[in-house]
Amino acid sequence: MIHVSAIIAAGGRGARFGADRPKQLLSVGGRPILQRSVEAFLTNDRVHDIVVALPQELVVAPPTYLTHARVEMVVGGERRQDSVSNAFARVAARADVVVVHDAARPFVSAALIARTVDAAAEFGAAIAALPARDTVKRADRDRIVVGTLPRHEIYLAQTPQAFRTSVLRDALALAAGADATDEAVLAEQAGHAVHLVDGDPRNLKITTPDDLAMAEALLGAATTAGLRIGNGYDLHRLVAGRPLILGGVTIPFDKGLEGHSDADAVCHAITDAILGAAGAGDIGRHFPDTDPAWKDANSIELLRRSASLVRAAGFAIVNVGVVVIAQKPKLLPFVDAMSGNLAGALGIARGEVSVKGKTNEGVDSTGAGESIAVHAVALLSK
């Protein structure tokens, strides 16, 4: 399996947009453009790590959705290729393929990332592009037509653009003496053949306020029909001689949860929630307690596998909310660690995971301290 690293170019100020802040921080559909772009790669099973090139003030005080173990931040440069060069210097040494993507394209799909990566692995360099649909005219400075270009030869470049690491290294070696609009131009100048893969008309680049309005309309048309909500519930009895594991955190306590796996009820409830939202069954179907393979299994790993199943079915995990009902112990000191573990397993930002602890006011087995119950809800988008 090849190691794929991603570079998100987000170092610009968005001067053409005319906003009071970098355009990548503006929201579309209630979420920042930058967050959508980063999470498209963060939740992609083909991508192992991400380097984001940002304005310096964002590196110093990053938004919470960038504080992820697989995301590294660097200060961008004056030009696009300077930002990409800065990020490339921090790419993992073991990377076989590096994908470069504009932060201003928040709707990049998993399928588009995959076919660009595959083409780069095979050919060395590949870019997403759309064939021109309109007749293309060439004009002089007075806007007089001086020629008509053969439409079948014209393609409109998008990102992602992917390169074998050695090819991108060659391309960026030319960056200091060239002013290129993308890395493919530099790769061409370095003597490498750049292959085209089918782009996506929905992979819109947001450059102007009109583009933002179009993105909102595009998202509005797709989002409502594509949303799925799933509920999950789990309850385990507390017994002596077992560790208490919740959300991947081992909590000091004199009892633990009884079960075939590690009995992490938080992970089990979330697993049922995301599988249910995707119409993919439940935890018992995929990891039955009659199978010795799952004896004492790490439930964080089961959750990670379930998230992969959900993404393979074409869904993105938007956010997850969890309520843990336990009379004892107090869970507040462990909530942040749980959120971090769960976010990592789900492939989403920590801020998209909410974990809350409640008591049962002395009622029933949970209130008597004999069991712990968990309710979870997950939102998925198609």
- Please give the pLDDT value at position 103: 94
Q: How confident is the model at residue 368 (pLDDT cuts 50, 70, 90)?
A: very high
pLDDT (mean) for 358-372: 93
> Does pLDDT of 161 surpass 80?
yes
- Please give the pLDDT value at position 213: 87
Ordered by where they begin, the domains of the chain are 4-207 (3.90.550.10), 226-381 (3.30.1330.50)
pLDDT (mean) for 129-134: 91
Token pair, residue 378, equals 């997950």
- Tens of pLDDT, residue by residue over 28-71, are 888 899 999 999 998 888 999 999 999 999 999 998 889 888 99
Distance of CA 332 to the CA centre of its chain: 28
Cα–Cα distance for residue pair 170/76, rounded to 1 Å = 20
Q: How confident is the model at residue 13 (pLDDT cuts 50, 70, 90)?
A: low
- For the chain, what is the mean pLDDT? 91
| Higher pLDDT, residue 192 or 226 | 192
Has this prediction a pTM greater than 0.85?
A: no
> Does pLDDT of 15 surpass 60?
no
pLDDT (mean) for 91-98: 96
Q: State the helix-helix crossing angle for 265-277 and 335-346, rounded to 10 degrees.
A: 40
- Tens of pLDDT, residue by residue over 280-328, are 988 888 998 888 888 889 999 999 999 999 988 888 898 999 999 999 9
| Higher pLDDT, residue 7 or 152 | 7
- Please give the pLDDT value at position 157: 94
Q: How confident is the model at residue 181 (pLDDT cuts 50, 70, 90)?
A: confident
- Please give the pLDDT value at position 18: 57
**Whether residue 160 has a cis bond before it, omega within 30° of 0:** yes
